[in-house]
A and B are shown apart, each in its own frame.
Chain A
Amino acid sequence: MSNSGDGYMTADGRKIGGVMMEMKNITLRFGGVKAITDISFDIREGEIRAIIGPNGAGKSSMLNVISGFYVPQEGEVWFHGKKRAPMRPYQVAQQGIARTFQNIALFEGMTVLDNIMTGRLTLMKSGLAAQAMWWGRAQREETEHREKVEKIIDFLEIQHIRKTPVGRLPYGLKKRVELARALAAEPKLLLLDEPMAGMNVEEKEDMCRFILDVNDEFGTTIALIEHDMGVVMDLSDRVVVMDYGRKIGDGPPDEVRSNPEVIRAYLGVGHA
């Protein structure tokens, strides 16, 4: 299967590959309400792709379509050159898609380490019985997975909270743990739902650095939704702008910033 297009070079010299995922004329309805109306765009290998828009623009719905959680009434989702059929969540994970949530969804009573280990669940091969006995392959497997998890802990600089129950952590760190868990699945495509929401400036800067590092170090393709315009413009290679369920702009940050329709959507509606 051939990918359309040959990719491009970013300003900082990263090479972006061919199309990884393509949305074709997606329309999503909840009863009579149209959340998404006829949207098409693509996500390329290795890029950081942002979806922005005012509140209620349909960003989160879009992310849920990408992750396979919502099945659109119209349109097609193509992934790695194949049209994607409706899937169960574990199938999505097996395809190499991982995500974080707008409202943190971690196991509060478990330690950071255990939370991140759950991210590797789909990669574990030993059976339930072997794991319960913790014998043979299960034991070896745990060591291997632990090593991978430790690399992620090191990468995200959360060594000091390795054994701390997640419930005791401040918000910014929980967000980082959630990112760690998503990374533990070794995703090819990482979906981030408002990764900086509710963070202070310093936490935002840290998160930005981690997102860039993840993209750089692991070559992970990242699609993110974000409110903070400054962050999005600095971070992403290409931006899709949505308003009232429609796409009103698509392109590199500078181009999008000067798009009159985008300016109207952001300033004209009086959205903060």
Chain B
Amino acid sequence: MAAAGELTSIPALLARNVRLYGARPAWREKEFGIWQSWTWEQGAAEIRAIALGLLALGLNRGDHVAVIGRNRPALYWSMMAAQMCGAVPVPLYQDAVAEEMAYVLDHCGARFVICGDQEQVDKVIEVQAQVHHIDQVIYVDKRGMRKYDHSRMNALEDVAAEGRAGHHRFDAELDARIAELNADSTCVMLYTSGTTGKPKGVILSNRNIIETSRNTAGFDGLRPGDDVLAYLPMAWVGDFIFSVGQATWAGFCVNCPESATTMMTDLREIGPTYFFAPPRVFEGQLTQVMIRMEDAGRFKKRIFDHYMQLARRVGPAILDGKAVSFADRLAYWIGDKLVYGPLKNTLGFSRIRVGYTAGEAIGPEIFDFYRALGINLKQLYGQTEASVFITQQPDGEVRSDTVGVPSPGVELRIADNGEVFYRSPGTFVAYYKNPESTASTKDAEGWVATGDAGFFEEGTGHLRIIDRAKDVGKMADGHLFAPKYVENKLKFYPNILEAVVFGNGRDRCTAFINIDLTAVGNWAERNNIAYSSYQELAGHPRVYETIKAHVEEVNASVAQDPMLSGCQIHRFCILHKELDADDGEMTRTRKVRRNIIEQKYADLIAGLYDGAESIATETEVTYEDGRKGAIRATVRMMDAAVQAPAQRRAA
């Protein structure tokens, strides 16, 4: 811990960066069609002005400051300004509906709420009917805000202006508060998305964030001059580590897109050197590329196919620095000029040095595609309670089916039931106002249960994760039931967006499938299949045939593993609606909530097991603005062939 010296808080790191890298860009945001940029020096001045303004509004030590909005420099600055004042920033998911927001705002007791725009302010005002301790609402974007009651509401710009004007009054107080910060003071509080139950507030100290940032920035050689695109929810621990922790530790630049819809264009313009995305972003990009290649001329298509084949064969080996023949290297070099280079440029990956994916398993096909292009895409495994990093893959040891070796400073052990435990400098302090959960998650020696079942691979020492420990169950005949293992195999097909497998305690497995509207819609267009909605396409007989083929292929692959061969899918149906976080069926980070789905679609599950041909059902849906509606559908059930388990011991 002493190695970090006096750099024991984010404001301290900020001051160091102003000294060392003052004139380098630290934040960029695309606005009015142009990338606006702030150096460390300019940004630090803004942050100080906001902090002074917050003091003028009466922000106290230990207060919680909720921050809601899309990734913008102003909101990152607000979080750091709150830290300077000795307060605790609490970033929230911006797409949460008012009801979800109410719980978190109530639980953390936020006195100040800083909103990105009118949409968020409206939600906070709605919440204020139930939550009475919100004292000040501050907003960044002034648009549409003129008519609001401003007796306890301010524009961030005005807060900063007031801070600047009144700096003589508050300078001493602010400096005193900054000086009080140490490694043990709270850096940030983040709410876990919670696959079960209510979200929990995870308290992370300066030590957690800074030690983790220091270790992992060293692991990948992050440095000033690197660029990262900040587009993932600010409430997610990863964004805090990348865009605040590592960015201030290593002194690299955080780039904020213009809006969520322009993310891909902005990615291409910035060309980050360090990039993080959940698997679905990489999947989406690959799908786009493939769809566009389908439309390309025959000549172009042939060049693309030829060189992609070559890339898949030698690309990953070249990236890992393994021996590759001169002829192959030369061919790869030509391919780079003709295909890989331009393709990477289109995707925005021309400058990438380190890319990470995590959160879900990534399909081997997808993973290899990017590696083959020469993009150093790696996997990491982590969680909020660990300040992200538990394991990560070192350069040159990258594979799609492991999550890598323990990150620097992290200790790992596997319990008897297969659950993975870790202990690290990033291990969280406690759950806020929830000592029982803290005690049941973190033991006296600091070991934390991840809730995931996994094992170390012999030989390489890499960790492999099978499933959530609590989801791993037993089938009626005693076979191991690991739903996620099968779901991931299903989701690797571009046509399948989500899958939910059932079978715990039953004699056979069944599944719900969500088709991917982009991929299947494109296929439908090519085959002249007319459809007007997701529901109609999902119920189409030919779509069912395609999905059935996918399910049977997965069954064949699952049958290869004697331990998990019982998880083959006997029957499935394609759901009439997409699983959605607004309906509570998934978390905001898009993890399926099994219990809720099981309750909500109990009629369909019953249908899968009692052999019904089809089930008529009605489902409640929640629209983006919180209103409710219902959709009716008749969902078909379909059988899939299963394979006899591989008898390896028979010989």
A159 within 8 A of B: yes
* Distance A209 CA – B34 CA, assembled complex (angstroms): 26
With contacts A151-B32, A153-B33, A154-B32 taken as known, whether A213 is within 8 angstroms of B144 at the C-beta atoms is yes
* Distance A199 CA – B261 CA, assembled complex (angstroms): 21
Residue interface mask B257-275, A partner, CB < 8 A = 1 = 0110110010000000000
Residues from chain A with a CB closer than 8 A to the CB of B258 are 159
A160 within 8 A of B: yes
Residues from chain A with a CB closer than 8 A to the CB of B337 are none
Nearest CB in chain B to that of A163: its residue? B265
**Interface residues of A, count at CB 8 A:** 18
Q: A160 to B259, Cβ gap below 8 A?
A: yes
Residues from chain A with a CB closer than 8 A to the CB of B144 are 209, 213, 216-217
Residues from chain A with a CB closer than 8 A to the CB of B526 are none
With contacts A159-B261, A159-B262 taken as known, whether A154 is within 8 angstroms of B147 at the C-beta atoms is no
Nearest CB in chain B to that of A205: its residue? B625
* Distance A12 CA – B149 CA, assembled complex (angstroms): 12
Nearest CB in chain A to that of B264: its residue? A160
Q: A150 to B32, Cβ gap below 8 A?
A: yes
B146 within 8 A of A: yes
Question: Chain A's nearest CB lies how many Å from the CB of B37?
Answer: 16
- Interface SS, A side: helix
With contacts A150-B32, A153-B33 taken as known, whether A159 is within 8 angstroms of B147 at the C-beta atoms is no
* Distance A213 CA – B33 CA, assembled complex (angstroms): 21
Q: B261 to A213, Cβ gap below 8 A?
A: no
Question: Chain B's nearest CB lies how many Å from the CB of A8?
Answer: 17
Residue interface mask A140-170, B partner, CB < 8 A = 1 = 0000001100110111010110100000000
Residues from chain B with a CB closer than 8 A to the CB of A157 are 259
A31 within 8 A of B: no
Q: A216 to B146, Cβ gap below 8 A?
A: yes
The B-contacting residues of A in range 43-81, CB under 8 angstroms, are none
* Distance A47 CA – B584 CA, assembled complex (angstroms): 42
Nearest CB in chain B to that of A12: its residue? B147
**Interface residues of B, count at CB 8 A:** 13
Q: B262 to A160, Cβ gap below 8 A?
A: yes
* Distance A12 CA – B265 CA, assembled complex (angstroms): 40
* Distance A159 CA – B31 CA, assembled complex (angstroms): 9
Question: Chain A's nearest CB lies how many Å from the CB of B267?
Answer: 13
Residue interface mask B25-49, A partner, CB < 8 A = 1 = 0000001111000000000000000
Residues from chain A with a CB closer than 8 A to the CB of B33 are 146, 150, 153, 159, 162
A270 within 8 A of B: no
* Distance A10 CA – B259 CA, assembled complex (angstroms): 34
Residues from chain B with a CB closer than 8 A to the CB of A160 are 259, 261-262, 265
Q: A213 to B147, Cβ gap below 8 A?
A: no
Q: A13 to B265, Cβ gap below 8 A?
A: no
Residues from chain A with a CB closer than 8 A to the CB of B31 are 154
Question: Chain A's nearest CB lies how many Å from the CB of B153?
Answer: 16
Q: A155 to B143, Cβ gap below 8 A?
A: yes
The A-contacting residues of B in range 220-270, CB under 8 angstroms, are 258-259, 261-262, 265
Q: B32 to A213, Cβ gap below 8 A?
A: no
Nearest CB in chain A to that of B30: its residue? A159
Residue interface mask A202-213, B partner, CB < 8 A = 1 = 000000010001
Question: Chain A's nearest CB lies how many Å from the CB of B402?
Answer: 37
Nearest CB in chain A to that of B146: its residue? A216
* Distance A217 CA – B262 CA, assembled complex (angstroms): 24
* Distance A173 CA – B258 CA, assembled complex (angstroms): 18
Q: A13 to B147, Cβ gap below 8 A?
A: yes
Question: Chain A's nearest CB lies how many Å from the CB of B260?
Answer: 9
Nearest CB in chain A to that of B33: its residue? A150
* Distance A28 CA – B317 CA, assembled complex (angstroms): 80
* Distance A154 CA – B146 CA, assembled complex (angstroms): 18
Nearest CB in chain B to that of A14: its residue? B147
Residues from chain B with a CB closer than 8 A to the CB of A159 are 33, 258-259, 261-262
Most chain B beta carbons < 10 A, residue from A146, A147, A154, A155: A154
Q: B32 to A147, Cβ gap below 8 A?
A: yes
A-B contact pairs, 18 of them (CB 8 A): A13-B147, A146-B33, A147-B32, A150-B32, A150-B34, A151-B32, A154-B31, A155-B143, A157-B259, A159-B261, A159-B262, A160-B259, A160-B262, A160-B265, A162-B33, A216-B144, A216-B146, A217-B146
9 nearest A-B residue pairs (beta carbon): A150-B32, A160-B261, A150-B33, A160-B262, A159-B258, A159-B262, A159-B259, A213-B144, A154-B32
Q: Mark B residues whose CB is within 8 Å of A.
A: 31-34, 143-144, 146-147, 258-259, 261-262, 265
Q: Given contact pairs A209-B144, A216-B147, A217-B143, enumerate 4 new A-B contacts (beta carbons under 8 Å).
A: A14-B147, A150-B33, A160-B265, A213-B144
